[in-house]
Amino acid sequence: MRRVLGLLFYLFRIIRILKAQNSLVFFQNIIIMDELVYLITKQSLDIPTMLTGDQEKVRKVNRSLVLNTLRLHAPISRAQVANVTGLTRGTVSNIVNVLIEDDLVFEDKLQNSKIGRPSILLGLRPDGGAVIGVEIGVNFISVLLTNFVAETLWEIRAQTTLSQSQTDIINQTEKYIDQALTIAKEQKLRPLGIGVGVPGLVNIRQGNLIIAPNLHWKNVPLRLMWNQRFHLPIYIDNEANLSALGEYYFGVARNVDNFIYLTSDIGLGGGIVIDGRLFRGGHGYGGEIGHIQRNPQGEQCGCGRVGCWETQVGPRAVMRRVKKEFQTHHDQLLLDACSGDFDNLTFEMVVKFALNGDLICRQAIEEVAVNLGEGIADLVNIFNPDLIVIGGAFILGKDIMQSIIEKTIFSNALQPATENLRIEFSKRSTEASVLGAVAVVLDDILREMVIS
Ligand SMILES: [Zn+2]
């Protein structure tokens, strides 16, 4: 027996090594199972390692596998869960029993399978808990309360001004969170956590907002503050990362494990999802694609450097170009729309004029689409995503931009990297990030994402 276990142990050790080298791209079930068998054999052979931590990890991974399978495929039977996850039926049953005890999963005993035998189907309980998503934007606060299956129970969106102090905005947000918690309590839902999206760099390990240039905030220990205030798990992340997660859970990237999300409102933000996980880098500062330098002779960027990608493609770049062109090509209709002052020009106005055939506005948006496509082509070469999701203000310009972006990407990226590539515009605009803030809480529960 010991010899068989020994062979198994070394077999799965080889699989782990191959997996680490990305040499295995098939045998999905083996890949799913290898951690478990490796640990079981290691345990049986009494190989000295940090076994308790490993066992705890396996337990958590299995629980997450089952929960995430229910999220994606419910209603589904225990046997089907076992098929999808590669876990044994016994393991699935044990996990499901605990999840039912925890009020996270329900059994529908009334369902019958087509072959006539009664079949018990499982699903996530909507009343399994309440999740709070928060977004602190440059000029707004958004708070969303959902149940365990992310159905909206209550939401609020309030405008703020740059003249409001940091303390004032934080206090206002806390009041909204209190309101959400009161409603959750009234509905007898236990709060599971609070996800928070902010427009800046976040150290996700510490839960600190390091810098939010457009808010003029620096070094705010939001997780610590709100842990103490609300006594709940708090998840802080960059808004673009959370928007990407929102698309993965609820939007056009649902079930797409490798994709890149790009958004632009003031700057250019990005969220990179690799193998179903947000790529954050060592401390959470990864994915700042807006600050890739694309033109060393270009415009000054808000980050203090010159020629960053966001200076070429953000709404500010469009407006700058329109204003510059206007100096040589007078456009009375556009001037009238701005009430005689180009400081009143908005990105929405430029898009509207472009769609109505205004040449200056159309060329400005087309140029942005080309610059966007060229940058995305580089990202495609690096990450080989299956999907690019374009969100934020770009959505307004979709009718003009989409074909240009696609053409530019496909002619600039290496051909094999574009074979299965799709380009989609987000179907969400304002609520993408706050939904992502809900998703980050669910992600931790459903998918064993270890943040701290
Ligand atoms: Zn920059």
| Cα–ligand 1 centroid distance for 67 (angstroms) | 40
The candidate with the shortest Cα–Cα distance to 394, out of 420, 428, 418, 422, is: 428
The candidate with the shortest Cα–Cα distance to 32, out of 43, 24, 41, is: 24
Q: Phi first, then psi: what are they for 345, rounded to 5°?
A: -65, 135
Q: What is the DSSP string of 263-285?
A: EESSSEEEEEEETTEE--TTTS-
C-alpha distances in angstroms, 1 versus 12, 40, 94, 433?
Answer: 17, 13, 26, 53
Would you state the pLDDT for residue 368? 92
Share of the chain above pLDDT 90, in %: 53
| Ordered structural domains, the chain, with CATH | 2-126 (1.10.10.10), 127-250+433-447 (3.30.420.40), 259-427 (3.30.420.40)
Would you state the pLDDT for residue 36? 45
HSE value, Cβ hemisphere, 13 Å, CA-based, for 83: 6
The one-letter amino acid at 224: L
- Cα 95 to Cα 81: distance, rounded to the nearest angstrom: 11
Q: How far apart are the first and last CA of the chain?
A: 39
Mean predicted confidence (pLDDT) in 18-26: 44
- Cα 290 to Cα 71: distance, rounded to the nearest angstrom: 33
Query: What does the mean pLDDT of the chain come to?
Result: 84
| Cα–ligand 1 centroid distance for 211 (angstroms) | 14
| Cα–ligand 1 centroid distance for 157 (angstroms) | 29
Mean predicted confidence (pLDDT) in 198-206: 90
The candidate with the shortest Cα–Cα distance to 403, out of 365, 451, 437, is: 365
Least confident of 85-99, 249-263, 306-320, 334-348: 334-348
Neighbours of ion ligand 1 (CB under 5 A): 291, 301, 303, 305, 308
| Cα–ligand 1 centroid distance for 175 (angstroms) | 34
Least confident of 82-91, 114-123, 309-318: 114-123
Would you state the pLDDT for residue 204? 86
Give 1 or 238, the one with higher predicted confidence.
238
Share of the chain above pLDDT 70, in %: 84
Residue 162, pLDDT above cutoff 80? yes
The one-letter amino acid at 141: I
3-state secondary structure of 449: coil
Least confident of 13-22, 164-173, 266-275: 13-22
Cβ atoms of 173 and 124 closer than 8 Å: no
Residue 27, pLDDT above cutoff 70? no
HSE value, Cβ hemisphere, 13 Å, CA-based, for 44: 14
| Cα–ligand 1 centroid distance for 299 (angstroms) | 10
- At residue 1 the predicted structure's pLDDT band, cuts being 50, 70 and 90, is low
Mean predicted confidence (pLDDT) in 97-119: 76
Task: Please name the residue that has the structure tokens 């995305």.
Answer: 376
| Cα–ligand 1 centroid distance for 268 (angstroms) | 9
pTM over 0.75: yes
Q: Which residues contact 336 (CB under 8 A, 6 or more apart)?
A: none
- At residue 420 the predicted structure's pLDDT band, cuts being 50, 70 and 90, is very high
- Cα 215 to Cα 164: distance, rounded to the nearest angstrom: 10
* CA angle, residues 229, 231, 236, in degrees to nearest 5: 80
- Cα 8 to Cα 34: distance, rounded to the nearest angstrom: 10
Cβ atoms of 59 and 91 closer than 8 Å: no
- At residue 48 the predicted structure's pLDDT band, cuts being 50, 70 and 90, is very low
Which pair of tokens denotes residue 427? Answer: 């179907």
| Cα–ligand 1 centroid distance for 294 (angstroms) | 10
Would you state the pLDDT for residue 345? 84
Eight-state DSSP code of residue 290: G
Q: Phi first, then psi: what are they for 265, rounded to 5°?
A: -125, -60
Would you state the pLDDT for residue 431? 66
Residue 415, pLDDT above cutoff 80? yes
- Cα 382 to Cα 260: distance, rounded to the nearest angstrom: 11
Residue 452, pLDDT above cutoff 60? no
Eight-state DSSP code of residue 339: T
Stretch (H or E) spanning 168: helix 166-186
Residue 18, pLDDT above cutoff 60? no
Residue 222, pLDDT above cutoff 60? yes
| Cα–ligand 1 centroid distance for 83 (angstroms) | 47
Task: Please name the residue that has the structure tokens 């309030």.
Answer: 158
Least confident of 6-10, 88-92, 127-131: 6-10
| Cα–ligand 1 centroid distance for 161 (angstroms) | 24
Residue 186, pLDDT above cutoff 90? yes
| Cα–ligand 1 centroid distance for 293 (angstroms) | 7
| Cα–ligand 1 centroid distance for 429 (angstroms) | 23
Per-residue pLDDT tens digits for 431-440: 678 889 999 9
3-state secondary structure of 388: strand
CA 51, distance to chain mean position in Å, is: 32
| Cα–ligand 1 centroid distance for 45 (angstroms) | 54
Task: Please name the residue that has the structure tokens 């374009």.
Answer: 390
Residue 193, pLDDT above cutoff 90? yes
Give 119 or 145, the one with higher predicted confidence.
145
Cross-strand pairs, 130: 147, 191
Residue 141, pLDDT above cutoff 50? yes
Mean predicted confidence (pLDDT) in 55-61: 81
Would you state the pLDDT for residue 114? 58
Task: Please name the residue that has the structure tokens 């010159």.
Answer: 306
Give 39 or 293, the one with higher predicted confidence.
293
Mean predicted confidence (pLDDT) in 328-354: 82
